[in-house]
Amino acid sequence: MSVTILGEKAVRTQLTLLAARMPEAMERALRSEAELIRTHSMRLTPVLTGALKGSHFVESRQTIDGPEATIGVGGPAASYALIVHEVPPPGGPSAGAVSGTARHKAPTQWKFLETAANNAVDTGLLLRLAGRMNASLRKSRGF
């Protein structure tokens, strides 16, 4: 048995059905994708002391609505994370700075987590989730 997917709406429908049938497999798939986003975000995170970069985390769990994964940044560096992520550089986003007068070498940037998450969506997050779920389904069926 396999799943054939023909478009974004079909992907979402199939993923919802598979998540209901295989919540643990969906949680693992979501966590794997979240870890990829976290890794990309860490590469984009400005570094002053390393605390912000090191504060990235991924959590996954089962909820009443189904499996979910959370990617976050902050911990003790939360106030700094908010400033670095949300305050545009002087002169605007293309000026090459992150916040205040701090300047960071490429590829670090403001909106590091948002950029990584958007990139994951733009490069096929739904299809990768579907592929992970299809592989789990095949494995559970012994294929």
- Domain for residue 55, yes or no? yes
Q: What does the pLDDT profile of the chain (143 residues) look like in tens digits?
A: 344 545 778 888 888 988 999 999 999 999 999 999 999 999 999 888 888 999 999 999 999 999 999 999 988 878 888 888 887 776 665 544 444 445 567 788 889 999 999 999 999 999 999 999 999 988 888 76
Q: Which of 20, 21, 27 is nearest to 61 (CA)?
A: 27
pLDDT value at residue 11: 81
- Please tell me the predicted confidence (pLDDT) of residue 99: 43
Of the candidates 24, 30, 58, the one whose C-alpha atom is nearest the C-alpha of residue 139 is 24
Boundaries of domain holding 14: 8-140
Run of H or E residues at 59: strand 57-63
| Number of compact structural domains in the chain | 1
- Tell me, yes or no, whether 81 lies in a domain: yes
What is the reported pLDDT for 43? 95
Q: What is the pLDDT of residue 94?
A: 56
Give the pLDDT confidence score for residue 6 in this predicted structure: 55
Task: Name the DSSP class of 88.
Answer: P
**Model pLDDT, residue 37:** 97
Residue 1 located in a structural domain: no
Flag whether 3 is in a domain.
Answer: no
Specify the residue for token string 């003790």. 76
Tokens of 143: 């294929």
Dist. CA 68–CA 61, nearest whole Å: 6
Supply the pLDDT for residue 92.
63
28 in any annotated domain: yes
Residue 54 lies in a domain: yes
Beta bridge partners of 71: 58
Q: Is residue 2 part of a domain?
A: no
- DSSP character for 75? G
Distances in Å between the alpha carbon of 13 and those of 4, 50, 66? 11, 41, 14
Report the SS3 class of residue 83: helix
pLDDT at 83: 83
